[in-house]
């Protein structure tokens, strides 16, 4: 079956870090140009229908202790870990059609990165650049988005733990960042690549997923090709026994794919050449997202089913019992996207869905405020995220130093009534610095 290739569209003493675990003070919605929450009349009524092959992250990108989303108006917002810094960082992003965040299931508090695909085919990334995963030709970290060099025809993106990949309009794929187990598709010839570089042997991709150390693409014919962990030394390899694939997601233990009939097939992320097996209890599925031992699927009717590890309620069925079979979640009937943040030694896992009206529901771990409900309490069932102030594009810092200043001013300003001396000290300091 042939498919049309389309663009699916981070001072005062004590304030040592650029951000912190900021819990939103108040359903995630589009924002108006002046930074205020948009009214129902101001914002788009719904997201566009998602047709054709789907990459892993799209409108939602959950990662360790944090959730980011593309609003229906093409802007971006984040909440949870480093929430205020992230919101300031993303204020200038516009015309975004997809978002992808790297994740880290094993380590503690290592820096992550996020990338946004724009409608024009360009890609912006920010966060950790220690392995060149921001595509700048260096290993610098950037707290405000920077444009990936030499990339202007991207139609899909995927951020892995320490690398990033993009699908080109012509079907080729470029990757950059760490290559310690071949996740850039070049075997073990190089350890890092700091600029987008074509993956050899991949020429007909339409969608992509990236995991910790691996990447998989869907071709226009529905075939799947993977490289990295599981097939370390070799070039990209076709996954045998799969055809007519429409969506794919690489998890910490399993990689799963949706086929056109709506069934889901999964295989080991770590064992190369393992055979995809049909997941029982799932039918009429259009999208799938895999975390670290937990998975969720969106059904054609807008319902959501989840399964797997459930120690903090990340399955969303109201319990904390591991589920070996998929469980349909109550109260969700209009989901269009799902994303899972993975559990680490420091942060518990969470899950989120995007509703057609632009609202977001999340469940699971919440110690960093990643559920967006204004608390730090874990939730074993879906609950709507709350709104929080958005920032106008004109407030977006253009340099990391500007971000620091904006972050300090905003953080102090939000608590001026409780701690007026903080604002007085900051006002004095910033004027002395001029």
* Residue 7: pLDDT over 50: no
Instruction: Give me the mean pLDDT over the 399-428 stretch.
Output: 65
- The mean-pLDDT minimum among 26-35, 105-114, 134-143 falls in 26-35
Between residues 105 and 5, the one the model is more confident about: 105
The chain-wide mean pLDDT, for the chain, equals 82
pLDDT at site 421: 62
pLDDT at site 327: 98
Kindly provide the b/e burial profile for residues 245-254, where b requires at least 16 CB atoms within 10 angstroms of the residue's own CB: bbbbbbbbbb
- The mean-pLDDT minimum among 242-246, 291-295, 354-358, 396-400 falls in 396-400
- pLDDT tens-place string over residues 322-354: 999 999 999 999 999 999 998 888 899 999 999
Kindly provide the b/e burial profile for residues 144-169, where b requires at least 16 CB atoms within 10 angstroms of the residue's own CB: bbbebeebeebbbbbbbbbbbbbbbe
Between residues 106 and 116, the one the model is more confident about: 116
pLDDT at site 272: 72
- pTM value? 0.84
Q: Residue 14 — very low, low, confident or very high, per pLDDT cuts 50/70/90?
A: very low
> Residue 35 and residue 49: Cα distance in Å, rounded?
27
Q: Residue 112 — very low, low, confident or very high, per pLDDT cuts 50/70/90?
A: confident
* Residue 423: pLDDT over 70: no
Instruction: Give me the mean pLDDT over the 390-418 stretch.
Output: 66
- pLDDT tens-place string over residues 189-234: 889 999 999 999 999 999 999 998 899 999 999 999 999 986 555 6
* Residue 364: pLDDT over 60: yes
> Residue 286 and residue 274: Cα distance in Å, rounded?
23
* Residue 408: pLDDT over 90: no
> Residue 165 and residue 186: Cα distance in Å, rounded?
13
* Residue 257: pLDDT over 80: yes
């Amino acid at each position: 079956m042939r498919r049309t290739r389309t663009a699916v569209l981070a001072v005062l003493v004590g304030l040592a870090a650029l951000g912190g675990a900021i819990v939103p003070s108040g359903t995630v919605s589009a924002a108006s140009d002046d930074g205020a929450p948009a009214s129902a009349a101001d914002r788009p009524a719904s997201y566009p229908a998602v047709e054709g092959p789907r990459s892993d992250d799209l409108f939602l990108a959950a990662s360790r202790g944090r959730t980011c989303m593309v609003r229906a108006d093409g802007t971006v917002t984040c909440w949870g870990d480093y929430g205020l810094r992230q919101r300031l960082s993303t204020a200038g992003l516009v015309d975004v059609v997809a978002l992808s965040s790297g994740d880290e299931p094993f380590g503690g508090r290592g820096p992550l990165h996020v990338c946004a695909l724009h409608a024009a085919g360009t890609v912006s990334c920010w966060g950790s650049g220690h392995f060149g995963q921001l595509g700048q030709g260096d290993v610098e970290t950037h707290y405000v988005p920077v444009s990936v060099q030499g990339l202007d025809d991207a139609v899909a993106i995927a951020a892995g733990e320490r690398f990033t990949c993009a699908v080109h309009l012509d079907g080729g794929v470029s990757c950059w960042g760490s290559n310690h187990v071949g996740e850039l598709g070049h075997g073990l010839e190089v350890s890092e690549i700091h600029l987008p570089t074509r993956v050899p042997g991949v020429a007909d991709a339409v969608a992509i997923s990236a995991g910790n150390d691996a990447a998989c693409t869907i071709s226009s014919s529905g075939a799947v090709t993977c490289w990295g962990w599981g097939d370390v030394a070799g070039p990209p390899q076709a996954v045998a026994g799969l055809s007519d694939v429409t969506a794919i997601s690489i998890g910490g233990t399993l990689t799963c794919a949706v086929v056109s009939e709506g069934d889901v097939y999964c295989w080991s992320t770590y064992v190369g050449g393992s055979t995809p097996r049909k997941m029982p209890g799932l039918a009429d599925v259009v999208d799938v997202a895999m975390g670290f031992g937990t998975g969720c699927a969106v059904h054609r009717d807008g319902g959501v089913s989840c399964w797997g590890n459930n120690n903090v309620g990340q399955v969303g069925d109201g319990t904390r019992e591991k589920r070996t079979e998929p469980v349909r979640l109550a109260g969700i009937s209009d989901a269009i996207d799902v994303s899972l943040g993975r559990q680490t030694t420091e942060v518990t896992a969470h899950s989120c869905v995007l509703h057609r009206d632009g609202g977001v529901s999340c469940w699971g771990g919440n110690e960093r405020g990643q559920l967006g409900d204004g608390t730090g309490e874990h939730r074993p069932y879906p609950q709507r995220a709350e709104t929080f102030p958005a920032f106008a594009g004109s407030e977006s810092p253009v340099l990391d130093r500007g971000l620091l200043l904006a972050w300090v001013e905003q953080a102090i300003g939000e608590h001026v009534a409780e701690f007026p001396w903080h604002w007085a000290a900051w006002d004095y300091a910033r004027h002395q610095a001029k």
